[in-house]
């Protein structure tokens, strides 16, 4: 199950041949508009691409963009049962205007206020019913600070997962960073860690271990996996600490890489892989998707090839 902020990633692409006479900005002649599933919905797509059956739980608006998201889910054979529509919210849409290969601007349409008491109650009722009825083996919180993951939602679902022996993995954001106690896997990025621990964390083993100790001390999580952008990932499983560097990549677009990392890390955890293999696979998968433009899912065949190459080199 994936619980969190769902959104539409919209790409409006074209070409520029002149500057506007109204202001010193380029005129983009539109050739294509592409809507993709983003946020927690992209996590669900990555899980599906890796062979899992995802159940997505999120909140959208009762608007045209919400219908676009539901239509895209249906086109990808994703179950919409856990997605709730609210007349008091709008569907999050991130619109990127692209000329050639250059992104000129991003326009965000969203609500960031928390769910109302009534919305939270309805949402929890739906998510808990799915947890009980479906054969859920793992839950991922995908937090983008859009208001769906309130403290009540987080704590209630963690408690339910513990009762049902369901593993919990988290991709946090700043607002609720410290509200995920006793989870199995906690995956912030380096900037989120620096903001949360309120200290500069250099991407070296000593600094990262210090930050991880603070996180583990407050959250009592089992595994800390910190993504370091182009430097790779840091792992602390309580027994070993290690930095897994990235292989050289031609980076095209970093959007959605965190979604891919948490997807494969949670699946690998659920499959019982040792923590070093979890970090290795997550690092490879995150590196793979940044080579492609826009929000894309991991390619399982490519991931297998790259993993075998590393194992052969060892």
- Residues designated catalytic: 259
CA distances from 269 to 61, 164, 171, 225, 242 (A): 33, 17, 14, 12, 17
Which letter does DSSP use for residue 282 in this model?
H
- Report how far residue 93's alpha carbon sits from residue 309's, in angstroms, rounded to the nearest whole number: 38
Q: Are 216 and 236 in contact (CB under 8 A)?
A: yes
- Report how far residue 48's alpha carbon sits from residue 45's, in angstroms, rounded to the nearest whole number: 5
* C-alpha 23 chain-centroid distance: 37
Q: Are 170 and 34 in contact (CB under 8 A)?
A: no
Residue with tokens 């983003």: 38
- Report how far residue 99's alpha carbon sits from residue 28's, in angstroms, rounded to the nearest whole number: 6
* C-alpha 99 chain-centroid distance: 26
Structure tokens at 49: 């691409």
Cβ atoms within 10 Å of 118's Cβ, excluding its own = 10
DSSP, collapsed to helix, strand or coil, labels residue 120 as: helix
Cβ atoms within 10 Å of 96's Cβ, excluding its own = 19
Cβ atoms within 10 Å of 275's Cβ, excluding its own = 21
Beta strands in 5-87 (DSSP E): 6-19, 26-39, 56-61, 83-86
- Report how far residue 193's alpha carbon sits from residue 211's, in angstroms, rounded to the nearest whole number: 7
């Amino acid at each position: 199950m994936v619980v969190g902020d769902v959104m539409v990633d919209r790409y409006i692409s074209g070409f520029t041949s002149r500057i506007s006479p109204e202001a010193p900005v380029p005129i983009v002649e539109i050739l294509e508009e592409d809507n993709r599933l983003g946020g927690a919905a992209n996590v669900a797509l990555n899980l599906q691409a890796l062979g899992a059956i995802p159940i997505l739980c999120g909140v959208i608006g009762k608007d045209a963009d919400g219908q676009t998201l539901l239509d895209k889910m249906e086109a990808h054979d994703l179950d919409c049962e856990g997605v709730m529509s609210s007349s008091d919210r709008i569907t999050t849409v991130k619109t990127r205007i692209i000329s050639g290969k250059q992104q000129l601007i991003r326009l965000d349409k969203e609500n960031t206020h928390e769910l109302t008491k009534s919305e939270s109650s309805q949402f929890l009722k739906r998510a808990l019913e799915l947890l009980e009825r479906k054969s859920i083996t793992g839950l991922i919180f995908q937090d983008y600070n859009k208001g769906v993951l309130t403290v009540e939602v987080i704590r209630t679902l963690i408690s339910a997962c513990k009762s049902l022996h369901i593993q919990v993995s988290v991709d946090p954001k700043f607002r609720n960073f410290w509200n995920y106690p006793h989870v199995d896997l906690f995956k912030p990025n380096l900037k989120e860690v620096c903001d949360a621990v309120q200290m500069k964390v250099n991407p070296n083993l000593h600094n990262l271990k210090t930050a991880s100790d603070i996180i583990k001390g407050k959250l009592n999580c089992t595994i800390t996996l910190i993504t370091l952008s182009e430097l790779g990932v840091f792992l602390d499983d309580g027994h070993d600490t290690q930095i897994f560097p990235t292989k050289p990549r031609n980076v095209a677009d970093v959007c959605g890489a965190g979604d891919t990392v948490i997807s494969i890390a949670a699946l690998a955890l659920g499959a019982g892989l040792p923590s070093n293999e979890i970090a290795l696979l997550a690092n490879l998968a995150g590196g793979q998707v940044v080579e492609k433009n826009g929000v894309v899912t991991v390619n399982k065949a490519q991931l297998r090839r790259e993993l075998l190459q590393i194992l052969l080199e060892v």
